[in-house]
């Protein structure tokens, strides 16, 4: 007994000399788990911090020296919101939690490579990994709901508020708007019918081979055209909401082992084999093939676009008139070919939101220039051929009330939301019992008021 007591004293002395990282190393060696902090009635365990570190590693984030202190501070904030969420009687359903667990599991499998790899990485069976995540994700949903309640109480900004913001904020503190473009386009689609017919013929042949006894996974490795091909087209157990409705509806209609007919989605054309269904979730395999176009398609499209460009540059017809008459892109042709940012509806498009193929062509153009024909993709990843005209190039600039009202509105709303969250935390810290293990006292927290 005396021997055990001496060992315990020696271990305690050793731990007291460690930094947060040192304690974590002892934990990773399998020797201890311990309470790092208590917020209200909720404990934060070292194992929870280490699970977060593992998730960061799995997702490719760099693990810096003070990362555990950063995680602890974020957990302290989260626990304050969680305490208030319980006081406000907020609830989340089991279905909401289960959906979040399966989505996180699907993402983790896609990063680590499979169920076996996940179990080896976390050192636990799958059911235990999901059980650990379940409680954490339930709390996360409650925290998010409480944060939304806090932010919802922030008064809405008015135009006069935005004007006052511009007048009172130093120019260097206002947001910078990147280079923007206003452009028109004339679009020609390739002969999709022939390409789709070829894809469907290929998939029908593959389906017949599967029905005749060939392994779905083997054919997926050989012919499928996405990242799942290396794993035999495997799609891990996931909520059906994770997929296009056309895909999930076709999959859920299958019995286990059954192979679907051809299914079309915006990503391409699929065959699906059902492996297992659980409620609104399923585990399946798929083969995806996309239409491919020939050099003849490209040559024909370019020839037509050359003729349309001549109508503008030689015969001096307005670009917008030619676009309205001949462009095959219904989203832009009714507006004379004017391209809009799909997320904002603005005709001013940030450089980083342009298709890479488009930017590589227009980056050296001047306002009024019309490009040569080139190949690109549309918002649904379909191959298209087009010519573009630059209407205006707006240089990077500090946002102004006259030209960037939406940018300033987002900036102001975000800043007010951050302040509301900060004020809430500062107020609750005064009335919440917060205890942090002294071994973590050396952490350089952003807010120094955690340790009182």
Residue 26 belongs to what H/E stretch?
Answer: helix 20-28
| Strand partners of residue 436 | 37
Q: What's the sign of the alpha-carbon dihedral 267, 273, 275, 276? A: positive
Per-residue pLDDT of 335-379, as tens digits, reads 999 999 888 888 999 988 999 999 999 999 999 999 999 999 887
Separation CA 424–CA 147 (nearest Å): 9
* pLDDT the model gives residue 32: 64
Task: Give the chain's end-to-end CA distance (angstroms, integer).
Answer: 38
Q: Residue 286 burial (CB < 10 Å; 0-12/13-18/19+)? A: buried
Q: Which two tokens stand for residue 295?
A: 């050099």
Q: Which CATH class is domain 2-153+427-450?
A: mainly alpha
Separation CA 448–CA 432 (nearest Å): 16
Please give the biggest Cα pair distance in the chain.
101
pTM > 0.85:
no
Separation CA 283–CA 231 (nearest Å): 13
Separation CA 125–CA 119 (nearest Å): 5
DSSP characters over 350-396? EGGGS-HHHHHHHTT--TT-BPPPEEEE-TTS-EEEEEEEEEEEE--
The domain over range 179-191+294-395 is classified in CATH as 3.10.50.40: yes
Residue 283 has pLDDT above 80, yes or no: yes
Within 212-269, where are the H helices?
A: 216-223, 245-252
* pLDDT the model gives residue 28: 53
Q: Which two tokens stand for residue 358?
A: 């488009």
Q: What is the CATH number of domain 193-289?
A: 3.10.50.40
Residue 300's pLDDT band (cuts 50, 70, 90):
very high
> Mean pLDDT throughout 2-26?
42
Separation CA 232–CA 287 (nearest Å): 9
Beta strands in 253-382 (DSSP E): 263-265, 268-278, 281-289, 349-350, 374-377
Same fold flag, 179-191+294-395 and 193-289: yes
Beta strands 42-45 and 234-239 are: unpaired
Residue 8 has pLDDT above 60, yes or no: no
Portion of the chain with pLDDT greater than 70, in percent: 92
The answer to whether 36 touches 72, Cβ cutoff 8 Å, is: yes
* pLDDT the model gives residue 451: 66
> Mean pLDDT throughout 298-303?
93
Counting Cα atoms < 13 Å in the Cβ hemisphere of 227 gives: 4
Per-residue pLDDT of 184-197, as tens digits, reads 999 999 888 888 99
The answer to whether 333 touches 323, Cβ cutoff 8 Å, is: yes
Nearest Cα to 76, choosing from 321, 404, 343, 434? 434
Q: What's the sign of the alpha-carbon dihedral 432, 438, 440, 444? A: positive
Lookup result for tokens 């007291």: 16
Per-residue pLDDT of 391-446, as tens digits, reads 999 999 999 998 888 889 999 999 999 999 999 999 998 888 889 988 887 888 88
Residue 324 has pLDDT above 90, yes or no: yes
Q: Which two tokens stand for residue 322?
A: 């030619």
Per-residue pLDDT of 242-280, as tens digits, reads 899 999 999 999 999 999 999 999 889 999 999 999 887
What DSSP character marks residue 305? H
Residue 205 has pLDDT above 90, yes or no: yes
Within 59-191, where are the H helices?
A: 67-87, 94-112, 115-122, 126-152, 159-168
Q: Where are the domains of the chain?
A: 2-153+427-450, 179-191+294-395, 193-289
DSSP characters over 415-451? HHHHHHHHHHHHHHHHHS-EEE-GGGTT---SSGGG-
């Amino acid at each position: 007994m005396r021997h055990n007591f001496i060992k315990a004293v020696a271990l305690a002395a050793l731990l007291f000399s460690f930094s947060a990282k040192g304690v974590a190393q002892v934990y990773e060696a399998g020797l201890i788990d311990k309470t790092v902090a208590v917020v209200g009635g909720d404990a934060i365990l070292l194992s929870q911090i280490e699970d977060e570190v593992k998730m960061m590693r799995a997702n490719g984030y760099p693990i810096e020296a003070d990362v555990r202190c950063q995680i602890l501070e974020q957990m302290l904030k989260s626990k304050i919101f969680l305490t208030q969420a319980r006081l406000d009687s907020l609830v989340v359903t089991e279905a909401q939690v289960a959906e979040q667990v399966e989505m996180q599991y699907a993402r983790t499998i896609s990063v680590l490579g499979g169920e076996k790899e996940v179990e080896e990485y976390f050192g636990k069976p799958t059911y235990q990994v999901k059980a650990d995540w379940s409680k954490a994700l339930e709390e996360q949903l409650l925290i998010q709901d409480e944060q939304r309640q806090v932010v919802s109480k922030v008064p809405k900004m008015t135009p006069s508020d935005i004007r006052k913001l511009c007048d009172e904020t130093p120019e260097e503190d206002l947001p910078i708007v990147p280079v923007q473009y206003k452009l028109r386009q004339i679009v020609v689609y390739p002969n999709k019918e022939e390409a789709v017919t070829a894809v469907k013929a290929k998939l029908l042949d593959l389906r017949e081979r599967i029905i005749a006894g060939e392994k779905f996974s083997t054919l997926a490795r050989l012919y499928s055209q996405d990242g799942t091909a290396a794993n035999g087209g495997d799609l891990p157990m996931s909520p059906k909401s994770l997929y296009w409705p056309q895909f999930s509806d076709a999959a859920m209609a299958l019995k286990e082992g059954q192979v679907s007919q051809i299914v079309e989605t915006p990503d391409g054309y699929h065959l699906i084999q059902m492996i297992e269904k659980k409620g609104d979730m399923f585990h399946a395999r798929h083969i995806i093939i996309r239409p491919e176009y020939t050099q003849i398609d490209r040559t024909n499209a370019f020839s037509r676009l050359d003729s349309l460009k001549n109508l503008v540059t030689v015969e001096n017809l307005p670009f917008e008139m030619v676009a309205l008459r001949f462009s095959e892109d219904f989203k832009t042709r009714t507006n004379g070919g004017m391209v809009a940012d799909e997320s904002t509806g603005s005709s001013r498009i940030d450089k980083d939101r342009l298709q890479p193929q488009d930017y590589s062509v227009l980056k050296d153009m001047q306002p009024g220039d019309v490009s040569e024909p080139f190949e690109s993709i549309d918002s649904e990843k379909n191959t298209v051929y087009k010519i573009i005209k630059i209407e205006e190039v707006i240089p990077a600039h500090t946002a102004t009330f006259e030209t960037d009202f939406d940018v300033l509105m987002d900036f102001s709303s975000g800043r007010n939301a951050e302040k509301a969250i900060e004020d809430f935390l500062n107020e609750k810290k005064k009335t919440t019992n917060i205890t942090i293990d002294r071994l973590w006292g050396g952490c350089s927290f952003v807010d120094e008021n955690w340790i009182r």
